[in-house]
Amino acid sequence: MNKILIIEDNEEISSMLNQLLTNRGYETISAYSGTEGLLLHSTEINLILLDLMLPGKNGEEIIRELKRKHSVPIIVMSAIHDMDKKLDLFELGADDYVTKPFHNDELLARIKVHLRNHKEEDSSILRYKDIELNTNNFTVFCNNEEVFFTKCEFELLKTLMENPNQVFTKSILFDRVWQDEDSADDNTLNVHISRIRNKLKEKNPNEEYIETIWSIGYRMKK
């Protein structure tokens, strides 16, 4: 079931949207400020409905922060008709814009299209536990925080996440990441795995992600 985050400070509108979406089979979660929306946004969210005029941080301020935390379609809801304003919002990272008051059927249609398109794009994203790895833009998020890896570290983690139940021998990992076994040795591989583990542990110290299969290689820890 798709989960939609509604960031809207007007309780009447928020309640109406919740009712509309749950009647169509969506799961919803509500936030009444930009700050609360950022706290509630996670890898479980599939789409965001964002009111532009919010208390505290307004919609414009948090679009980039929402995208940075976990990139899903954002549909902005606003009574503003100005075309330049709309273009600015798209530059910030908004995916669509509906003008209040909007027709429910139009909003539902836009939501359906963006969820379908995002699902198609989602094939470039690998997920395991609370890790999200994007093979298109080479980003990795763990526990909703971005983790920065070197090229070899990224390729190692990607290889393991592509088949999380498979044990990868050292020779396979040498071939996948370094292409030439002679250009790397056991120590090189061990150091890279250790760095990956440490960077992930910084974001979530309560979870273990990579398991050593002694004398064979590595796999993602169940």
Give the integer Cα–Cα distance in Å for 190 and 53: 51
Same domain, 31 and 100: yes
**Domain shared by 79 and 157, yes or no:** no
Report the distance separating Cα 203 and Cα 142, nearest Å: 6
Which CATH number characterizes residue 141's domain? Answer: 1.10.10.10
| Cα 216 from Cα 222, distance rounded (Å) | 17
**Domain end (from 97, 123, 149):** 123
Contact 3, 24 (CB under 8 A): no
Provide the domain limits for residue 175: 129-220
Q: What is the pLDDT of residue 183?
A: 66
Q: 104-121 and 11-23 are packed helices; what angle lies between their axes, rounded to 10 degrees?
A: 60
Question: Can you tell me whether residue 54 is helix, strand or coil?
Answer: coil
Q: Which residue, 75, 104, 123, sits at the end of a domain?
A: 123
> Alpha-carbon distance 129 to 106, whole Å?
35
3-class SS at 139?
Answer: strand
pLDDT, position 181: 52
Is residue 18 domain-shared with residue 113, that is, in the same domain? yes
Is residue 8 domain-shared with residue 56, that is, in the same domain?
Answer: yes
User: What's residue 50's pLDDT?
Assistant: 95
| Residues 143 and 76 reside in one and the same domain | no
**In this structure, are 172 and 214 located in the same domain?**
yes
219, amino acid identity: R
Give, for all 222 residues of the chain, the pLDDT tens digit.
899 999 999 999 999 999 999 999 999 999 999 999 999 998 889 999 999 888 887 777 889 889 888 889 999 998 877 777 777 888 888 999 999 989 999 999 999 999 988 776 666 788 899 998 988 888 999 988 899 999 999 999 999 999 999 999 998 999 889 876 566 788 899 999 999 999 999 999 999 999 999 989 999 998
Residue 60 has a pLDDT of: 78
**What is the total count of domains within the chain?**
2
| Distance (Å, whole) CA 48 – CA 71 | 10
Please indicate, yes or no, whether residues 115 and 187 belong to a single structural domain of this protein: no
Q: What does DSSP say about strands 139-142 and 96-99: parallel, antiparallel, or unpaired?
A: unpaired
Whole-number Å distance between alpha carbons of 126 and 43:
12
DSSP for residue 161: H
Q: In terms of domains, do 115 and 147 share one?
A: no
Q: What is the pLDDT of residue 123?
A: 67
Whole-angstrom Cα distance, residue 173 to residue 189? 8
Rounded CA-CA distance 140/43 in Å is 12
Residues 118 and 147 in one domain: no
The answer to whether 118 touches 72, Cβ cutoff 8 Å, is yes
Asked whether the beta carbons of 144 and 69 are under 8 A apart, the reply is yes
Can you tell me the distance from the alpha carbon of 59 to that of 19, in angstroms, rounded to the nearest whole number?
23
User: Which among 123, 157, 179 is the end of a domain?
Assistant: 123
**Does residue 105 share a domain with residue 13?**
yes
Task: State the pTM of this model.
Answer: 0.60
Whether residue 80 sits in one domain with residue 183: no
